[in-house]
C-alpha cells in the first residue's frame, strides 16, 4: 500500500514538474540573476578593488573574505616577482609601522621587528630589487606634509606605492580636544592635493584608524576613544573625497582594516595595536590590491580586469552566433513543414527519454539547434567565470560543511530505491548508482574545500580510482564480449568523452590538460583498445574454443602491466613521449607535462585492476560458478559470509589507514597499490547479498548518467576561478546561493549530456565512408586549432 501511494505521488509530481520544466525554470533564474547583477554593478560600481578595500567578513577565525571577489595568499616568490624594481613607502604612526612589518614579512619572513620604534625603518631586498621604507610621522602636520611634498617634485623619484595614515597621536597629545580635531582637518586639507597629485603616477592609500579596545588602554591612552576615532575618520574621508571637484578621488581610502579590527581588537595586548593575524590580513589585502593586476593569479579575482578575448574565443563567439541565427532562420522557414518531435516524458522517473532523431527532422536542423543551445550555455559559462558579472568567494573548510551534506544526500539516495532490471554483478543500474553517489561526494568535497583535510582527501582519491576502475572494467567487458573493434565504436567513445572539454578549452581559453580527468580516461580507453585490438585479437568467443587463448590474453595483460611499471618509474621516458608535438599541446600545463605525469601515476594500476577483475568475473560467469539469480547470494552461504567478513575488514582497514595519514606525499605513493583493496571490498559488499544486488538507488543512478558532465561543468558554473573558489549568484545568503547555483548547474549538465548524445549521432555516423569524411573534417578542424593556438602563444609572449 505504501509503495502504491509512493508511486502514485511520484507520478502526480512528475506530471507537473519534469526535467524540461526544471530547465525552463533554471533559464528564467539565470536571466533574472544576470539582470540583478548588472543593475547592482551599475548602481554600486563594478570595481572589485573598492570592495577589497572597504568590505568583507571573516570565514572562521582568521580567513578574511572580501565582498564579491577572491583574495590570493601571496607566497614569497610571488611577492618578490610582483614588486621587483619597486619602492613602497609607509608613512604614519605605530599602527602604520605594524602594517609595514607585516607587509615586509610577506617578502622576507625572517625580518625582525627591532630598533628604535620612533624612527624611520628601511628595508631592501637587493636580489629582488625591492625597497620598502617606513617613515615615522605620527601626526598629520607640517612634517608629514613636507615629506609628501618632496615626492611631488619632478626631479625626485616617487615611490610606486604610498601607504599613509595617522590620528591616535593627535588625540593622545592634545587630550582629545576639539581644537586638535579642527587642526587635523586643516592639516589633512592641505595634504590632500599633494596626495591627489601623487596618485596620478603612484598608488596612494590612506589608512583609516582602527577602533580601540577601551578596557585595555593604559591611563595615558584613555582619551583615545572610539568616538574620537570615528570623528577623525569621518573628517579624513570627507576631505579626501572632496579634494577633486569634477571627478572621483584617485587617493584610495583603506577602510577595510576597521572591519578586521572590530572582530579582533579584543585579542590586542594593549587595546591599541592589533594582533599579528589582523595585521597580516591587512598586509595581504594591500598585496592583492597592487599585485593582482600584475600577476593575475587564478584565485585572486579582486582588482583583476576581465581578460581580453583571444582570437579563438572571438571565432567561437562568431560560430555560436551564426548557429543561433541559422537555427532561427531554419525554424521560421520550416515551422509549418516540420513539426518538432517533442520528447515524451517518462512519468515514472520524471526524465525525458533519450532523444531519437526523427527521420522527418533534418540532421542540419538538429545540428543547428544543438549548437544554438550550446552557444547560450557557453555564454553562461563565460559570464560565470570570465566576465566578472557574478561574484566569487574563497572556499573555507569545516567538518560540518562536508559531512552534513554527505549525510543528507545519503538519506535521499536510500529513500529513492527501486528494483533492478537484472541482478548481475555490476549491472547497468548499479554502476550508474555507483558513479552517481561518488560524483555527488566529489562535488561536495570540491565546494567545501575538504582537500585540506588529509583523511577526506585520501578517501576521495579512492573514488577517483573507482571511476578509472569502472573504465577498465566496462571497456574490457565490451571488447571481450562483443569483439567490436570498429572505428565507429572508438569514435563514439572519444566524442562523448571529449566534446564538452574541447568546447570549454576554446570558450574558456584553458589547456586540455586543465580538465585532467578527461585526458586520463581518454588515454586509458585508447590503452585498453590498443591492448585488445592488436594481434592476436583475443575475444571471449574465440577463447571459449581453446583455453590457451586465455593464457594469451593474460600475457597481453602482463605486458601492459610491465609497460605501466616502466613509465611509472621512468619519468624521463614518460615526459619525452608526451612532450612530442602535437601531444605536448594536449598534455602540457604551465609549459611542462609534470602535472600529467603526476595525475597518471597516482592511479596507474587501477585501470589494469579493472580489466583483470572483468576477465576473472566473466570467466567465472561463463563457467556458471556464480549464482546471480534474484535474491540469491553470489556464492554458497559459507563462502559468501567469509568473503563478506573479509571485505568489511578490508574496507575498514583501508579507512583506518587513510584516516591516520600524516603526510600527503607518502600516502600518495602507497595509494596506487592499495586503493584497489577498498574498491574490491565495496564491490563484494554490494554484490554478494542477493537482496543488495536486486535494488538500486534511482536518485544516485540519475546523477550517474550525467556524472561526466557534472564533473566538468563544476569547474566554471558551480565553483569559480577554475575551481579555486565558489560561484556566488545570491550574495549574503550562502545556503540559498548553494541551492540556486546547484539547481542551475545540474540542469545545465543534463542539457549538455543530451546535446552531446544528439551531436554524436550526427557527427559520428555508422556508415564507414561517411564517418571517414567526418573524421577528415575533424582532423582539419584540429589542425586549424593548433595553428591558431600557436599564433596566440606567440602573440602572448
190 is catalytic: no
Which one of the listed residues 72, 87, 137, 273 is annotated catalytic?
273
Q: What are phi and psi of 121, to 5 degrees?
A: -125, 115
Helices 363-385 and 311-334: angle between axes, nearest 10 degrees = 140
Tell me the per-residue pLDDT of 256-277, one tens digit each, with 9 for 90 and over.
999 999 999 999 999 999 999 9
Report the SS3 class of residue 213. coil
In this structure, are strands 63-66 and 56-59 parallel, antiparallel, or unpaired? antiparallel
Q: What pTM was computed for the model?
A: 0.91
C-alpha triplet 742, 748, 750: angle, nearest 5°: 105
Distance CA 320, CA 313 (A): 11
C-alpha triplet 82, 201, 186: angle, nearest 5°: 120
Question: What HEC string does 627-680 produce?
Answer: CCCCCCCCCCHHHHHHHHHHHHHHHHHHHHHHHCCCCHHHHHHHHHHHHHHHHH
Half-sphere exposure of 769 (CA within 13 A, CB side): 0
CA distances to 354, 367, 373, 747 from 347, in Å? 14, 28, 25, 18
Q: 153 and 147 in contact (C-beta within 8 Å)?
A: no
pLDDT of residue 581: 85
Lowest mean pLDDT among 15-24, 576-585, 751-760: 15-24
125 is catalytic: no
pLDDT score of 525 more than 70 = yes
Rounded average pLDDT over 65-84:
94
Lowest mean pLDDT among 116-120, 467-471, 489-493: 116-120
Q: What are phi and psi of 718, to 5 degrees?
A: -130, -50
Cell 546547484 -> residue: 742
Q: In which order are the strands placed within the sheet that holds 719-720? A: 391-394, 725-728, 719-720
Total H helices, total E strands in the chain: 31, 15
pLDDT of residue 12: 47
**For residue 57, what is the enclosing H or E element?**
strand 56-59
Q: What is the DSSP string of 783-795?
A: HHHHHHHHHHHHH
Task: For residue 330, name the pLDDT band (cuts at 50, 70, 90).
Answer: confident
Question: In terms of pLDDT, which residue wins out, 342 or 530?
Answer: 530
pLDDT of residue 508: 95
Among positive and negative, which fits the CA dihedral 372, 373, 377, 380? positive
273 is catalytic: yes
Q: What are phi and psi of 346, to 5 degrees?
A: -80, 105
What is the gyration radius of the CA atoms in the chain, in angstroms?
32
pLDDT score of 397 more than 70 = yes
Distance CA 470, CA 614 (A): 10
Count Cβ neighbours within 10 Å for each residue of 268-297 and write b for 16 or more, e otherwise.
Answer: beebbbbbeebbbbbbbbbbbbbbbeeeeb
Task: For residue 21, name the pLDDT band (cuts at 50, 70, 90).
Answer: very high
Tell me the per-residue pLDDT of 164-216, one tens digit each, with 9 for 90 and over.
999 999 999 999 999 999 999 999 999 999 999 999 999 999 999 999 999 99
pLDDT of residue 792: 84
**What are 434's three cell numbers?**
555507483
Which one of the listed residues 218, 270, 346, 767 is annotated catalytic?
270
pLDDT score of 349 more than 70 = no
Report the SS3 class of residue 164. strand
pLDDT score of 450 more than 70 = yes
Q: 472 and 609 in contact (C-beta within 8 Å)?
A: yes
Q: What is the DSSP string of 135-155?
A: EE--SSSHHHHHHHHHHHSTT
Q: 701 and 445 in contact (C-beta within 8 Å)?
A: no
Which one of the listed residues 40, 46, 54, 94 is annotated catalytic?
94
Task: For residue 373, name the pLDDT band (cuts at 50, 70, 90).
Answer: very high
Tell me the per-residue pLDDT of 669-722, one tens digit each, with 9 for 90 and over.
999 999 999 999 999 999 999 999 999 999 999 999 999 999 999 999 999 988
Of 195, 280, 182, the residue nearest 232 (C-alpha): 182
Q: What is the DSSP string of 427-466?
A: -HHHHHHHHHHHHHHHHHHHHHTGGGSHHHHHHHHHHHHH
Tell me the per-residue pLDDT of 451-464, one tens digit each, with 9 for 90 and over.
999 999 999 999 99
pLDDT score of 347 more than 50 = no
Residue 544: other Cβ atoms inside 10 A: 11
Rounded average pLDDT over 578-603:
91
Report the SS3 class of residue 763. helix
Residue 711, classified by CB atoms within 10 Å of its CB into exposed (0-12), middle (13-18) or buried (19+), is: buried
pLDDT score of 7 more than 90 = no
pLDDT of residue 241: 86
Which residues does 14 contact at the CB level (< 8 Å), separation at least 6? 345, 347, 348, 349, 350
**What are 738's three cell numbers?**
548553494
pLDDT score of 10 more than 60 = no
Q: 635 and 688 in contact (C-beta within 8 Å)?
A: yes
Task: For residue 337, name the pLDDT band (cuts at 50, 70, 90).
Answer: low
Rounded average pLDDT over 629-640:
92
Task: For residue 16, name the pLDDT band (cuts at 50, 70, 90).
Answer: low
Half-sphere exposure of 628 (CA within 13 A, CB side): 19
Amino acid at each position: 500500500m505504501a509503495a502504491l501511494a509512493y508511486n502514485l505521488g511520484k507520478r502526480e509530481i512528475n506530471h507537473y514538474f519534469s526535467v524540461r520544466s526544471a530547465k525552463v525554470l533554471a533559464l528564467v533564474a539565470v536571466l533574472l540573476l544576470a539582470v540583478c547583477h548588472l543593475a547592482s554593478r551599475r548602481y554600486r560600481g563594478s570595481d572589485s578593488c573598492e570592495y577589497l578595500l572597504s568590505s568583507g567578513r571573516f570565514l572562521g577565525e582568521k580567513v578574511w573574505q572580501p565582498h564579491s571577489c577572491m583574495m590570493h595568499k601571496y607566497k614569497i616568490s610571488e611577492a618578490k616577482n610582483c614588486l621587483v624594481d619597486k619602492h613602497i613607502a609607509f608613512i604614519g604612526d605605530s599602527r602604520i609601522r605594524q602594517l609595514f612589518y607585516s607587509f615586509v614579512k610577506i617578502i622576507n619572513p625572517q625580518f625582525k621587528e627591532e630598533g628604535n620604534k620612533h624612527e624611520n625603518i628601511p628595508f631592501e631586498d637587493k636580489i629582488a630589487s625591492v625597497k620598502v621604507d617606513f617613515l615615522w610621522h605620527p601626526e598629520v602636520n607640517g612634517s608629514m606634509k613636507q615629506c609628501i611634498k618632496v615626492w611631488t617634485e619632478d626631479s625626485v623619484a616617487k615611490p610606486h606605492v604610498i601607504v599613509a595614515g595617522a590620528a591616535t597621536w593627535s588625540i593622545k597629545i592634545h587630550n582629545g580636544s576639539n581644537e586638535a580635531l579642527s587642526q587635523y582637518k586643516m592639516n589633512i586639507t592641505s595634504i590632500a592635493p599633494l596626495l591627489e597629485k601623487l596618485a596620478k603616477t603612484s598608488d596612494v592609500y590612506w589608512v583609516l584608524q582602527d577602533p580601540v579596545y577601551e578596557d585595555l588602554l593604559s591611563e595615558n591612552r584613555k582619551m583615545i576613544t572610539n568616538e574620537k576615532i570615528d570623528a577623525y575618520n569621518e573628517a579624513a574621508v570627507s576631505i579626501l573625497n572632496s579634494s577633486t571637484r569634477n571627478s572621483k578621488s584617485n587617493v584610495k581610502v583603506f577602510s577595510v582594516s576597521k572591519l578586521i579590527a572590530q572582530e579582533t581588537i579584543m585579542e590586542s595586548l594593549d587595546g591599541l595595536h592589533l594582533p599579528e593575524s589582523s595585521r597580516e590580513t591587512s598586509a595581504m589585502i594591500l598585496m592583492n590590491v597592487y599585485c593582482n593586476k600584475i600577476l593575475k593569479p587564478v584565485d585572486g579575482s579582486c582588482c583583476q580586469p576581465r581578460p581580453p578575448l583571444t582570437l579563438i574565443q572571438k571565432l567561437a563567439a562568431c560560430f555560436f552566433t551564426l548557429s543561433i541565427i541559422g537555427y532561427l532562420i531554419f525554424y521560421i522557414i520550416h515551422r509549418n513543414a516540420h513539426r518538432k518531435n517533442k520528447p515524451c516524458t517518462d512519468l515514472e522517473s520524471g526524465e525525458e527519454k533519450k532523444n531519437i532523431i526523427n527521420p522527418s527532422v533534418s540532421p542540419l536542423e538538429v545540428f543547428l539547434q544543438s549548437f544554438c543551445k550550446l552557444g547560450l550555455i557557453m555564454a553562461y559559462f563565460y559570464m560565470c567565470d570570465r566576465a566578472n558579472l557574478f561574484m566569487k568567494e574563497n572556499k573555507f573548510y569545516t567538518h560540518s560543511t562536508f559531512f552534513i551534506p554527505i549525510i543528507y544526500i545519503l538519506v535521499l539516495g536510500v529513500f529513492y530505491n527501486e528494483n533492478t532490471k537484472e541482478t548481475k554483478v555490476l549491472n547497468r543500474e548499479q554502476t550508474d548508482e555507483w558513479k552517481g553517489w561518488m560524483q555527488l561526494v566529489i562535488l561536495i568535497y570540491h565546494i567545501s574545500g575538504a582537500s585540506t583535510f588529509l583523511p577526506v582527501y585520501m578517501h576521495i582519491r579512492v573514488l577517483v580510482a573507482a571511476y578509472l576502475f569502472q573504465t577498465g572494467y566496462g571497456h574490457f567487458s565490451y571488447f571481450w564480449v562483443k569483439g567490436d573493434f570498429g572505428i565507429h565504436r572508438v569514435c563514439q567513445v572519444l566524442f562523448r568523452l571529449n566534446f564538452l572539454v574541447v568546447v570549454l578549452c576554446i570558450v574558456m581559453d584553458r589547456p586540455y590538460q586543465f580538465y585532467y580527468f578527461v585526458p586520463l580516461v581518454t588515454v586509458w580507453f585508447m590503452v585498453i583498445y590498443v591492448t585488445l585490438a592488436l594481434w592476436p585479437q583475443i575475444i571471449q568467443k574465440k577463447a571459449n574454443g581453446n583455453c590457451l587463448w586465455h593464457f594469451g590474453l593474460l600475457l597481453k595483460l602482463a605486458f601492459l602491466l610491465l609497460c605501466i611499471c616502466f613509465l611509472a618509474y621512468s619519468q624521463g621516458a614518460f615526459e619525452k613521449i608526451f612532450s612530442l608535438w602535437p601531444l605536448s599541446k594536449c598534455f602540457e600545463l604551465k609549459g611542462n607535462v609534470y602535472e600529467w605525469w603526476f595525475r597518471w601515476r597516482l592511479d596507474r594500476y587501477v585501470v589494469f585492476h579493472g580489466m583483470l577483475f572483468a576477465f576473472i568475473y566473466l570467466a567465472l560467469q561463463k563457467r556458471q560458478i556464480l549464482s546471480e539469480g534474484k535474491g540469491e547470494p553470489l556464492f554458497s552461504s559459507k563462502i559468501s559470509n567469509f568473503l563478506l567478513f573479509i571485505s568489511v575488514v578490508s574496507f575498514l582497514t583501508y579507512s583506518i589507514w587513510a584516516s591516520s595519514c600524516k603526510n600527503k606525499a607518502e600516502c600518495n605513493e602507497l595509494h596506487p597499490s592499495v586503493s584497489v583493496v577498498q574498491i574490491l571490498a565495496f564491490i563484494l559488499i554490494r554484490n554478494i547479498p542477493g537482496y543488495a544486488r536486486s535494488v538500486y538507488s534511482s536518485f544516485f543512478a540519475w546523477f550517474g548518467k550525467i556524472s561526466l558532465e557534472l564533473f566538468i561543468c563544476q569547474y566554471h558554473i558551480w565553483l569559480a576561478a577554475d575551481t579555486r573558489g565558489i560561484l556566488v549568484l545570491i550574495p549574503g545568503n550562502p545556503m540559498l546561493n548553494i541551492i540556486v547555483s546547484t539547481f542551475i548547474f545540474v540542469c545545465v549538465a543534463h542539457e549538455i549530456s543530451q546535446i552531446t548524445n544528439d551531436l554524436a549521432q550526427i557527427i559520428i555516423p555508422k556508415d564507414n565512408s561517411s564517418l571517414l569524411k567526418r573524421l577528415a573534417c575533424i582532423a582539419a578542424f584540429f589542425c586549424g586549432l593548433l595553428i591558431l593556438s600557436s599564433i596566440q602563444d606567440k602573440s602572448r609572449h
